[in-house]
């Protein structure tokens, strides 16, 4: 499925973004292995999250979708998961793959995790290595990629692991396994990464200790079923925030968006570039901070993005790159090696896409240098990456000619209603 997108000179209105994907995955996972029933409101029913739901149904967990969008999960408690009869297909979801590997490593079940062609290219060795140190029986395919085979093992042993590269998914996999390990498990981060897993553990009553860049928990604790409100997804909101910022005369309002400080680097980066972003009505949904966001057009300037901010905005760099393309001057991104291990090699994909629409960009091993200029239009290969596809749709708001974005099917993995939301805001985007 390809999109053709044309500038309209208008981008405004109230936008409702879907529930946070990262929070949705974690809510389902912990609810499934908790004791008692959990109720989850605001869940993102995207392809990625539906894959996580199917996975737990394969392992004997009862999940009921109610008419008001509420999901009830009848937890099976520690050790209650059943071995699936067939391989678990996680589609395109790297979050589900990596977090489930950690969770299942301590569950004393046998399972094989796989996915689509893109997922089967995602590196898993960074997850497997610490789990093996804990005593897990986990193997992967050739070159360290899926499928992931998990076998029964004796009780895991807690470890003190220093992560060589900042990654919330690696950290989360270790902590999830650590709940079922003997003794204490600690993870040292080189930089702060998103802490949704820790917040979700606390929501289910599982204690942890946070000391600077170190997170620790003791194995053998108990998760108790609870009620969860999933905030709006900041990663999804970011496309509309940048869209409003780069389109003259625009004003967009987005309600109930999660603004977790370990996740909101995109807002800091855009504000440093000159974006006009108003954040109001701050509140909490569960353990996650939430606010309403209003964005207006503003001229942007290129900046050098610090590595500390990279880990706080890792999923938003495709759309940040579009903001940089529309800015005055150069934007430098460094310390972003993690982008090469997403649904696509996002450094390579963004560089190719920016060049295709007339923007000068220099690719580097750990990032890129983007020179703001005239967006001319053209044909962009999204490499089946939902965030690359949505980012280049927004680039059309400043394009002299239409932009054709190829291979957009996977947008539904995170934002099923993106097309309708974008059209309602004034973007001329059509499927071709």
C-alpha distances (whole Å) from 133 to each of 160, 161, 332, 379 are 10, 9, 37, 46
| Cβ–Cβ under 8 Å, residues 357 and 399 | yes
Report the candidate in 33, 24, 23, 415 with the shortest Cα–Cα distance to residue 195. 23
Marked catalytic residue, from 48, 233, 315, 385: 315
Residue partners of 404: CB distance under 8 A and separation at least 6: 2, 3, 4, 5, 378, 379, 380, 432
Report the candidate in 86, 90, 55 with the shortest Cα–Cα distance to residue 73. 55
List the end-to-end C-alpha distance of the chain, in Å, as a whole number: 7
Q: How far apart are CA 152 and CA 174, in angstroms?
A: 17
Q: Coil, strand or helix: which one is 428?
A: strand
| Cβ–Cβ under 8 Å, residues 20 and 234 | yes
Q: How far apart are CA 143 and CA 123, in angstroms?
A: 8
Q: How far apart are CA 265 and CA 338, in angstroms?
A: 15
C-alpha distances (whole Å) from 111 to each of 74, 148, 269 are 21, 8, 41
| Cβ–Cβ under 8 Å, residues 124 and 151 | no
| Cβ–Cβ under 8 Å, residues 120 and 384 | no
Residue partners of 72: CB distance under 8 A and separation at least 6: 37, 38, 39, 40, 63, 64, 66
Report the candidate in 52, 54, 55, 73 with the shortest Cα–Cα distance to residue 63. 73
Report the candidate in 395, 415, 414 with the shortest Cα–Cα distance to residue 405. 395
DSSP string, 214-282: EEEEETT---B--EEEPPB-HHHHHHHHHHHHHSTT-EEEEEEEE--TTTTHHHHHHHHHT-EEEEEEE
The answer to whether residue 315 is catalytic is yes
Q: How far apart are CA 334 and CA 124, in angstroms?
A: 23
DSSP state of 19: B
Residues forming a β-bridge with 113 = 88, 148
| Cβ–Cβ under 8 Å, residues 141 and 147 | yes
Catalytic residue ranges: 315
């Amino acid at each position: 499925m390809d999109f053709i997108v044309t500038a309209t000179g208008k981008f405004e209105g109230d936008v409702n973004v879907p529930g946070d994907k990262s929070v949705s995955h974690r809510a389902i996972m912990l609810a499934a292995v908790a004791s008692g029933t959990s109720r989850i409101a605001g869940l993102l029913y995207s392809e990625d999250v539906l894959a996580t739901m199917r996975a737990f149904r394969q392992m004997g967990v009862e999940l009921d979708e109610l008419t008001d969008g509420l999901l009830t999960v009848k937890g099976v408690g520690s050790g209650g998961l059943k071995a699936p009869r067939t391989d678990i297909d996680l589609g395109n979801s790297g979050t589900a793959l990596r977090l489930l590997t950690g969770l299942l490593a301590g569950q004393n079940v046998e399972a094989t995790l796989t996915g689509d062609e893109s997922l089967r290219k995602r590196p898993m060795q960074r997850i497997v290595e610490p789990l093996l140190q804990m005593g897990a029986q986990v193997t992967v395919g050739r070159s360290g990629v899926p499928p992931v085979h998990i076998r029964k093992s004796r009780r895991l042993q807690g470890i003190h692991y220093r992560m060589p590269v900042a990654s919330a998914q690696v950290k989360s996999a270790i902590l999830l396994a650590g709940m079922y390990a003997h003794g204490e498990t600690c993870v040292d981060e080189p930089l702060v990464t998103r802490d949704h897993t820790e917040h979700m553990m606390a929501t289910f009553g599982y204690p942890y200790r946070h000391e600077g860049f170190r997170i620790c928990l003791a194995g053998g604790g108990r998760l108790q079923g609870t009620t969860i409100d999933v905030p709006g997804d900041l990663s999804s909101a970011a496309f509309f925030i940048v869209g409003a910022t780069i389109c003259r005369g625009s004003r967009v309002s987005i309600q109930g968006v999660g603004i977790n400080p370990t996740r909101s680097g995109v807002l800091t980066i855009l504000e440093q570039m000159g974006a006009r972003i108003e954040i109001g009505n701050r509140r909490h949904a569960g353990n996650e901070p939430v606010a309403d966001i209003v964005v207006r057009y503003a001229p942007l300037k290129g900046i050098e993005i610090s590595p500390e901010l990279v880990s706080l905005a890792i999923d938003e760099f495709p759309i940040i790159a579009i903001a940089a393309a529309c800015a005055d001057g150069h934007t430098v991104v460094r310390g972003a090696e993690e982008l090469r291990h997403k649904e696509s090699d996002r450094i390579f994909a963004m560089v190719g896409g920016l060049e295709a629409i007339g923007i000068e960009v220099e690719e580097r091993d750990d990032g890129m240098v983007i020179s703001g200029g005239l967006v001319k239009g053209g044909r962009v290969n999204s490499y089946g990456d939902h965030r690359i596809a949505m980012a280049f749709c927004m680039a059309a708001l400043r394009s002299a000619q239409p932009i054709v974005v190829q291979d957009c099917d996977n947008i539904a993995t995170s934002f099923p209603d993106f097309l309708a939301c974008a059209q309602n805001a004034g973007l001329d985007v059509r499927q071709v």
